[in-house]
Structure 1
Amino acid sequence: MTKVVATGKTIEDAVEQGLSQLGTSRKHVHVTVLEQPSKGFLGFIGARKAKVELTILPEPAVDEVKASASFHLQDSPAQTAEEEEHLVKQSSATVAEEPASKIDPYEEAVRFVRETAAGMGLEVEVDLRRGKDESVMDISGSDLGMLIGRRGQTLDALQYLTNIVANRHAGGYVKIILDAENFRLRRQKTLENLAERLAAQVTRTGKEVILEPMPPNERKTIHAALQRHAEVRTFSKGDEPNRRVIIAKK
């Protein structure tokens, strides 16, 4: 066996595992890092081990490294065998190791969503639609109510974490919207209907209405629904995460 793929908690652990399988030492192998380790969400969801590929170097290549080391050491009689061995090992490591290949942020985001759902006991599929300004991930599967949460709070939290994962590997900023069972559109329609009902109430009674705290995107939906209303106006008040929309008569 001249080549092996090994995994470990760290790259060094993975290399040691590979050396053990090959029955050789670090100076005799070429190391290619296939995957960097990742702790994952909450320390276990989406966690990934380091993966490396070890290939045994041809004997002449190893001899050349040793010869080079001996050439530089021959005028230093005080140099010990241990120091020479360290120089050979250091030279081999410098030549052999390669940087990890570029990681696709969207693939990492999809992987994170699937593994997070699996950690919740759900088996899901993720359909990615890439866009210029933002991309949408549609999640499908059974029993997605737990993934969506009350008024989409769990889905919003997962979306926030997914964007963190994606942007950790992106060259520039990427924005990802998570949706499940067409929840985003249904929630938008619910908020628009709520805005119209409350606007009618304010028009009838003349008293302003203060809505419950909402995330920025939902407050924006309320404002947009009533921005051309003839008799009411909207504005927001308070600090996050308790910022509220207020509907008042003009």
Structure 2
Amino acid sequence: MKKIVERAPTVEEAIEKVVKKYGLGEGEYTVNVLEKGFHGIFGLFSKEAVVEVQITKAYFERRLKEFLTEILQVVDPEVKITVKSSGRSFFVDVESENAGRLIGKHGKTMGALQHIAMIFLNRLSDTKLNVILDMGDYREKRKKSLEKIVEEAVKKAISEKTKVVLDPMFSFERKIVHKLVRKHRGVISYSVGVEPYRRVVIEYSATRREGRRKHDIKESI
């Protein structure tokens, strides 16, 4: 996720420079010695040591947890944050007595917090990382409510032959909506806008309706 090449008179000094600069802890980095260095003879022909330090996921998990804890303790001093990672995604689970306040209406507060956390984490990394935030099982509960939202939007789009623009959603919510929409004939869905205000549009489509009918006939045969 991040590699740093450092030079110093010795390997130990090169490593120490990186550790101090980034505040690395035990188990948060690995070292590849590129050049061992040479003190030379009476100061002549000396050569610097060169090391490549690879920062591990443990570092990013710790920094993300510290960052979010500092912010959320203002609202709840007893907040508990767990950070796990898989690939380039970091999953954050927040336990708080004030979860409702932290989630906000339609998850807007949580979405803004997730966006800020993602910006923070990516400033530490050389590669793009994702942050997925959850509070009080919000995501699981949200899945159920999205089913009703999609049903109503699809009915309106088809009956009025128009398009329905939904409220801003998280990426995982938009994926659920698109999947649900594909189950219906006569509508298509697409996303518009930029994060964290990106929305899903469910739109009537005569082409989609006809194409789906043909597909259904083919499957039934």
Q: Same fold (TM over 0.5)?
A: yes
Shift of residue 178, structure 1, vs aligned partner: 0.8
Whether contact under 8 Å (2:90, 2:132) holds in the other structure is yes
Aligned 8 A contact 2:88 2:128 in 1: no
In structure 2, the residue matched to 1:211 is 165
2:84 matched to 1:129?
Answer: yes
Q: Give distance in 1, aligned partners of 2:194 and 2:99.
A: 31
Distance 1:224 1:117, change over 3 A: same
> What percentage of aligned pairs have identical amino acids?
25
Deviation of 1:135 (Å) = 2.4
Q: How does 1:85-234 map to 2 (within 5 A)?
A: 104-203=59-158, 205-215=159-169, 217=171, 218-234=173-189
Q: Residue 163 of structure 1: SS of its match in structure 2?
A: helix
Which is worse superposed, 226-235 or 133-142? Answer: 226-235
- Any conservation in 1 of the 2:84–2:90 contact (CA below 8 Å)? yes
Gaps (5+ residues) in structure 1? 1-30, 39-100
Q: Distance in 1 between matches of 2:101 and 2:91?
A: 20
Q: How far did residue 136 of structure 1 move?
A: 0.9
Partner residue in 2 for 1:248: 204
Matches of 1:237 and 1:106 in 2, distance apart? 31
1:44-95 C-alpha deviation (Å, 9 max, x unpaired): xxxxxxxxxxxxxxxxxxxxxxxxxxxxxxxxxxxxxxxxxxxxxxxxxxxx
Q: Distance in 2 between matches of 1:238 and 1:154?
A: 18
Aligned length: 159
* Superposed displacement of residue 33, structure 1: 9.2
Any idea what SS the aligned residue of 1:119 has?
A: coil
Residues 187 and 203 in structure 2, CA contact (< 8 A), matched pair in contact too: yes
Contact 1:105 1:168 in 2 (8 A): no
Q: CA RMSD in A?
A: 3.4
Residue pair 2:156, 2:164 contacting (<8 A) in 1 also: no
Can you list the C-alpha shifts for 1:16-56, whole angstroms capped at 9, x where unaligned?
xxxxxxxxxxxxxxx98976699xxxxxxxxxxxxxxxxxx
Q: Residues 226 and 108 from structure 1, CA distance in 2 versus in 1: closer, same or farther, beyond 3 angstroms?
A: same
CA contact (8 A) 2:168 2:199 kept: yes
Distance 1:140 1:231, change over 3 A: same
TM-score (norm 1): 0.52
* Structure 2 Cα separation of the partners of residues 249 and 209 of structure 1: 9
Letter in 2 for 1:158: L
Deviation at 1:162, TM superposition (A): 1.4
For the pair shown, the structure with the greater C-alpha radius of gyration is: 1
C-alpha separation between the residues in 1 aligned to 2:116 and 2:160?
42
SS in structure 1 of the partner of residue 86 of structure 2? coil
Residues in 1 aligned to 2:76 and 2:163: alpha-carbon distance in whole angstroms: 41
Residue ranges of structure 2 left out of the alignment (5+ in a row): 1-15, 24-53, 207-221
More strand by share: 2
CA–CA separation in structure 2 for the residues paired with 1:35 and 1:147 = 34
AA partner of residue 74 (structure 2): G
- 2:62, 2:118 → 1: CA distance? 12
Post-superposition shift, 1:105? 1.3
* In structure 2, distance between residues paired with 1:154 and 1:239: 16
Classify the secondary structure of the residue corresponding to 1:245. strand
Q: Could you tell me how far apart the structure 1 residues matched to 2:19 and 2:186 are?
A: 62
Deviation at 1:243, TM superposition (A): 4.8
